[in-house]
Amino acid sequence: MMKKKLNLINVLNPYSLFSKELNTDRIFGLDILRAFAIIVVIMDHGKFMFPRKIVELHQYVQFDGVTVFFVLSGLLIGKILIKQMEHDKVSFRLLLDFWIRRWFRTLPTYFLILSVVMVCYSIKDASFAFVKMSRYYFFCQNFFHISHLYFPEAWSLSVEEWFYFMIPALIFLFILVFKLKPKISILIVVFIVLCSVTFLRYTIFLDHDEEKARTFHHIVIFRLDSIMYGVIGAYINYYCLKYWNLIPGYLFLAGIGIFVLQKYFSLNNIFPDLTGAYKVIFEFSLTSLGTLMLLPYLTTLKNRKCNMGKIITIISILSYSMYLTHMTLIKDMILYSIPWTSFTTNYNIIIPVMYSLYWGITLLLSIIIYQFYESPMTRLRDQFSLVQRPEKATT
């Protein structure tokens, strides 16, 4: 009996559930950044549960967590690609191996949540048709423009998946066709992407189209540069390690300084014009640059074994499932479907309960998805790998 109780306690103990992950050689500084990013994203999407006065206060802590995710993705994917290209002969087989491993990491959980959301829509609306959400399965809902917002938070997944597909293919093309070294090919592609995306955003600035200016940051072709800043970090970390380690503390402070300056601009309405050069051309690039400048210092932070360090690492591990489940599925489909006023009309009770459930269900569901689906599906990629990797990726 005592043994059964101990087993139950172990199952309910999050540290026990994530014991394997907590004992791996993770970069704690990146876990901090990833945990911070998912927390600010979920806070931002949950702010409208509160009265207007509290929503107005949120602007003081609001932060672009998605761009942080983009830069982190670029760093980790860039490191994987560079190590693979420098370790193995560059070939289509190597490129295909990269795609297979990426897709096993990202697609199963995405397709699961997308399918659940689609079923929820069909239950709520008998006239709902699959074709309305079919674009989401191919990441085409926001490539050139935004279509129906059935699963709005998926916009960032489209940006990442198209980046994973197009950018490595372009790098491999320069290597295989023009016989360039990976080091040179990456630099060329970085230059092409940064210049192309900046030019595309410049065309919005020239058009002075408020509708485009309001929505462009959710469109794939205008956001690929954010992930590329992370690839720049991976490039410097691998090929120019001396410079990466030169002044990490000063770069970290400079990155924080960029964020403080951006917050000052925002709170004081320094650049109010939606179609102005800052809002359209420079704002997201500055956020990406600021995030990049944090990375040399954060990559020096070692894993913390204290409880707070473990909690941060667990939130970082769960961030993907948390991102996919928190808004459309939990907030819109579940919480907004509950007839709260049937239980009480006191919003001083309704709002705290709803917000607590928002976070609680997100965390609980993410733990379940990660343990029983996301992690097992990710492990499957080793069975389908086409080449031997120099080291196992932790993403």
Q: What is the pTM of this model?
A: 0.94
- pLDDT given for residue 7 in this prediction: 52
- pLDDT given for residue 2 in this prediction: 53
Regions of the chain with pLDDT less than 50: 6, 8-9, 392-394
Domain segments of the chain as ranges: 22-308+317-384
Which two tokens mark 215? Answer: 């929505």
